[in-house]
Structures are given as structure tokens and as C-alpha cells.
Amino acid sequence: MSSFVIKSIGKALNATSIISAKYASKKALNLFASPRKGRYNESQKNILEPADFQELSYNNLKIATYNFKGTNKTILLAHGWESNASRWSYILDDLLKQKYNVILLDGPAHGNSDGKQFNAILYSEFINVVANAYKPEVLIGHSVGGMASVFCMHNHQLDFVKKMVLLGAPAHFTGVFTRYKTMMGYNHRISEGLDRIVLERFGKPTDYFSAANFTTAINAKGLIIHDKKDKIIPYEDALLFANRYKNSELITTSGFGHSLRDKSITPPIIKFINN
């Protein structure tokens, strides 16, 4: 959406909040949680054609998974917001050359998975279901896929996961939520209303959901990769992870942006997995 459209929506909801802050806040949260893209086009479908497709489920929601079978370690990859499993095409060939058993999944309301709305907590439950089905030794997550992977490890303590790779991952939900509120130009009625809804739905305040803080209790080794010029998730988030994740290392890039789609990042990831 253009900044004009974004600000127009924000102003409309601000005006609505004068009449009903609760209604306007619910609309604002629905907008935040509803991806505008992330379903497959034809070229993306072709990338996954060679994989074995399997549907798992969580709370009656279908989870689409794709297995490129191999005899080496099992690796589970979780994409980010408004994306799908095909986003891993840039690294897939190199992983398969290592004979890894590669598992990809589509997050809620993305790709071929069910759902109309998305949040990192629900995504973490999708990841948990898939992880228990395939028992990966390595989790790799991009952006909110990295955050959801941390939530999953924090909540379910998956002992079979020995290593995690976090690519451009947000360190805390508060930062993501604050940037959304600022982008939309929401007033204090909606801003406070959004925080109340999170507390009501998930039983915890927004600042509880800190992926960086959760890593302090994770035993799996971590590799954090973040670009200094990331315009979506600030580089400071990577520093928070590095400070709290006791068993991790940080690789800093410059010029690859938030997507981190560059072949030069693959060798250190494979080295980390193999060591």
C-alpha cells in the first residue's frame, strides 16, 4: 500500500475510535494480522514441484509441508511475513548438494496452508507440529519465521533441535507493533486498545513476547545473521539477540537488506550446520 493509502486508513480508524475505540482497535489488529500476499503464483509452485507434499494440522487448520528428501541432517525452514516456502529457492540447491533432508512449511494464511490471519504465536504452533512430525536437528527462520521458531523452542523445549539460524529476525514483538502503530499514525485510543486486545487474547502483555529474552533458556546453538541496512527489522534487534542468546554467534552483512537473499550467506550457514 502507498503511504497515502496507509495514512488514510489510519485517519479513518482514528476517527472511528472517537465513537468506539474497541471497534477501531479490533479493525486495526485485523489489518495488522491479515497478509495481502503470500499465496503461490505459478512460478513459485514449480519450485516446490519435486518435493513430497504432506498436510499436517493444528486446531483444524491445514499446514502445508514440502519434503526434499536427503540422507544427511534434517533441516526445517520457516519463511517470513507475506511469503511462502518458495522463498528458499536461492539456498535450496546448496542444501540439497549437502544431502540434507529439507523440510519447508507454509505459515498460517500463507502458501497452501489454511487461515485468514497470521501471528507469530500461531505460527510457532505450526512449526511445533511440523517439527514433531519430522524431528529436525536444525531450524532456520527468516524474519517473523525466526521469531516464531524461537517462540516454539521456548514453549515446547524441542530437545532434538540442536541448532537455530535466525535471518533478519525481530527481537521483540513490542518493536514490530510500535512500528506498525507509527506507520499507520494511530492515536492513543487505538494504540492502547491494541495492547489490551493482545493481553486479552494471549494472556500476556506485548512486552512479554520477546524472542531475544526467550533465547536465554534455549540450549540449541544459534547463528544470527542480520544486515546493517535492513529497513524492516533494525540491526539493533540482532544485537539484542547476540547479547541474550548465550550460545550464539552473529554474522553482520551490509547491502543485502531484509531479505538476505544472497549466495554468499549460504556457506557460513552450511559450515555452522556441519560443525
CATH number at residue 257: 3.40.50.1820
Tell me which amino acid residue 82 is: E
Q: Residue 3: pLDDT band by 50, 70, 90 thresholds?
A: confident
Query: Mean pLDDT throughout 221-249?
Result: 97
pLDDT digits (tens, 9 = 90+) for 119-178: 999 999 999 999 999 999 999 999 999 999 999 999 999 999 999 999 999 999 999 999
What proportion of the chain, given as a percentage, has pLDDT over 90? 97
End-to-end CA distance of the chain: 43
Residue position matching grid coordinates 524431528: 135
Q: How far is CA 188 from the centre of its chain?
A: 27
Residue 51 lies in a domain: yes
Rounded CA-CA distance 81/105 in Å is 13
Residue 53's DSSP bridge partners are 66
Whether residue 53 contacts residue 43, with contact meaning beta carbons closer than 8 Å, is answered with no
pLDDT in tens, 44-55: 999 999 999 999
Residue 21, in any domain of the structure: no
Q: Is residue 218 part of a domain?
A: yes
- C-alpha 123/C-alpha 78 separation (Å) is 9
**Within-domain flag for 28:** no
CA 94/CA 270 separation, integer angstroms: 9
In contact, 227 and 168? CB cutoff 8 Å: yes
How many separate domains does the chain show? 1
Which of 142, 140, 68, 51 lies closest to 102, judged by CA?
Answer: 68
8 Å CB contact between 233 and 202 = no
Does 204 reside within a domain?
no
In terms of Cβ atoms closer than 10 Å to its own Cβ (0-12, 13-18, 19+), residue 202 is middle
pLDDT band at 5; cut points 50, 70, 90: confident
Q: What average pLDDT does range 18-34 have in this prediction?
A: 96
Confidence band for 211, pLDDT divided at 50, 70 and 90: very high
Residue 40 has pLDDT above 70, yes or no: yes
Q: Mean pLDDT over all residues of the chain?
A: 96
* CA–CA distance, 233 with 84 (Å, rounded to integer): 19
Residue 194 domain-assigned?
Answer: no
Question: Domain containing 70: what range?
Answer: 34-172+210-274
Specify which residues 7 forms β-bridges with. Answer: none
* Contacting residues for 133 by C-beta, under 8 A, at least 6 apart: 54, 56, 65
- Is residue 255 within 8 Å of 231, Cβ to Cβ? no
What does the pLDDT read at residue 73?
98
pLDDT at position 1 is 62
Q: Is the pLDDT of residue 251 over 90?
A: yes
CA distance 169 to 228: 13
Partnered with residue 163 across adjacent β-strands are 138, 221
pLDDT tens column, 56-115 = 999 999 999 999 999 999 999 999 999 999 999 999 999 999 999 999 999 999 999 999
pLDDT tier at 183 (50, 70, 90 boundaries)? very high
Does 94 map to a domain? yes
**What is the reported pLDDT for 114?**
98
The CA-based angle 262-268-272, given to 5 degrees, is 140
Mean pLDDT of 219-242: 97
As given in the structure block, the three cell numbers for residue 252 are 553482520
Look at residue 161 and tell me if it is in a domain: yes
